[in-house]
Structure 1
């Protein structure tokens, strides 16, 4: 099974699953819907939504993921789960805030391949994460702008 097919299968399951909020200092899997940067069509991908200090974030170990590039082009997105749609805005962040979010994600993550995707070890400190942050992407989720 290829990655797209696996993502589609996982997304279908997550959309129907109850929408428990991510626990503080942890994450919850959600389907994130973005707009294709070239097509404008909706694109769905299962991702971990990280909760830290009352905020919610998306983290990628690399910048060349389609969903990252879509959010950089158009920050409007939606979280889908439990049959609900929550419209959001995803703004890229950097610096200490982003490093702390990556550290939170890594500390909470238990999936080996997800941890290995990062250019830092699972127990990396903020300084080590900051060195590699330019190659990663971290987005802060907020309420969508009113239409």
Structure 2
């Protein structure tokens, strides 16, 4: 059985960078369109949050997990959606995970836009990589298509910061 690809954030990312990017986004200042993703924990049911970079592409929007199959991706699969926060604006969304065969063009667009920030997580890949190279690595990087939805009946009180697996 193949091990799941995960690049765990280091102490600096967990304790300084992710909280700083989250704080900025919560106060209306975003770095390259970053948002705070809030998603319910699959085991606890508690809201968890982490900074992410939503990718607009081809009239759709996507969330790419450059660190691989981290906690927010597992929670997203279980919850089927979540919230994107920027200052006081909260956008509720549904998420559909893409099949590996559908990921190469999204991964290429993501790398083109954010390689300066996340390129280190895509060892040997960049926006100029071939479809075959991106497809060979697609299983390592979850990608979700997100679509705006009506808010659920429960409020997103008590959102807790993620202790790891973010995308700062």
Q: TM-score range by the shorter chain?
A: 0.7 to 0.9
Measure how far apart 1:13 and its partner are: 1.1
Deviations 1:58-102 (A, max 9, x none): 111343311111101111200100310000011101245321111
1:15 is the counterpart of 2:20: no
Provide the C-alpha distance between the structure 2 equivalents of 1:145 and 1:98, rounded to a whole number of angstroms: 27
1:5 is the counterpart of 2:15: yes
2:157 aligns to what? none
Q: Which moved more, 1:33-42 or 1:4-13?
A: 4-13
1:22 aligns to what? none
Count residues with an aligned counterpart: 140
Provide the C-alpha distance between the structure 2 equivalents of 1:116 and 1:124, rounded to a whole number of angstroms: 15
Could you say what the CA RMSD is over the residues aligned between the two structures, in angstroms? Answer: 2.2
Gaps of 5+ in 1: 20-26
The one of 91, 98, 103 aligned to 2:96: 91
Structure (1/2) with the larger strand percentage: 1
- TM-score of the aligned structures, taking structure 1 as reference length: 0.83
CA contact (8 A) 1:63 1:69 kept: no
C-alpha spacing 1:90/1:43, structure 2 compared with 1 (3 Å): same
CA contact (8 A) 1:89 1:145 kept: no
Provide the C-alpha distance between the structure 2 equivalents of 1:119 and 1:38, rounded to a whole number of angstroms: 31
CA contact (8 A) 2:69 2:142 kept: no
1:116 aligns to what? 120
Task: Indicate the SS of the match to 1:61.
Answer: coil
C-alpha spacing 1:10/1:61, structure 2 compared with 1 (3 Å): closer
Equivalent residue runs for 1:1-147 within 5 Å:
2-6=12-16, 7-17=18-28, 28-112=33-117, 114-122=118-126, 123-144=128-149, 147=152
